[in-house]
């Protein structure tokens, strides 16, 4: 049974250590709610939240559009993405939205200097059009018939 679609299911990745679990996982679930609320009811147009270790060990997740939440100090995926993704939004050198929405693999990193600043980055991502841009790029109208 298929659980995710590598083209349409957004994977949200948090760190796996206790700090990230306590501080960033609730923020990740708020973002998941935002993604899910924008779905048009199609089965795989949703978000799934996973830990960074699970994501890095499972290649199938890495094929999906991905949003990492939390900084390089608490999220191993963030540590990999921080130096490769351009900053598209920042606030007072405290909160950052880094993203590559043009490439084949859509990648986003939302983080801040602390959990509160990370929440600010997630809020900016959802309120300033970045989330809509990501979903518009991956949730295209399909004309194929599925059986």
Q: Are 4 and 59 in contact (CB under 8 A)?
A: no
Which residues are within 8 A (CB) of 122 and not within 5 positions of it... i.e. 6 or more apart?
27, 30, 31, 69, 110
**Confidence (pLDDT) at 28:** 98
> What DSSP string describes 14-35?
E--SHHHHHHTHHHHHHHHHHH
Arch. (CATH architecture) of 10-138 = 2-Layer Sandwich (3.30)
Delimit the domains of the chain by residue range.
Answer: 10-138
Q: What is the pLDDT of residues 31-88, one digit of tens each?
A: 999 999 999 888 899 999 999 999 999 999 999 999 999 999 999 999 999 999 999 9
- Which spans in the chain are helix H? 18-23, 25-37, 52-57, 59-62, 76-81, 115-127, 130-138
Decide: 14 and 70 in contact? Cβ < 8 Å.
yes
CB atoms within 10 A of CB 27: 22
Contact 77, 68 (CB under 8 A): yes
Mean pLDDT within 22-36: 97
What pTM does this model have?
0.93
Phi, psi for 19 (deg, rounded to 5): -60, -45
């Amino acid at each position: 049974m298929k659980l995710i679609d590598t083209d349409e299911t957004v994977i949200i990745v948090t760190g796996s250590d206790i700090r990230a679990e306590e501080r960033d996982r609730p923020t990740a679930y708020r973002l998941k709610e935002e993604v899910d609320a924008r779905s048009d009811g199609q089965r795989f147009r949703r978000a799934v939240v996973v830990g960074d270790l699970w994501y890095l060990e499972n290649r199938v997740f890495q094929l999906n559009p991905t949003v990492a939440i939390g900084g390089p100090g608490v999220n191993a995926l963030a540590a990999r993405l921080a130096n490769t993704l351009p900053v598209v939004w920042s606030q007072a050198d405290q909160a950052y939205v880094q993203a590559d929405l043009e490439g084949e693999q859509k990648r986003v990193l939302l983080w801040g200097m602390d959990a509160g600043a990370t929440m600010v980055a997630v809020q900016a991502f959802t309120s300033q059009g970045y989330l809509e841009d990501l979903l518009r790029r991956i949730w295209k109208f399909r004309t194929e018939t599925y059986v």
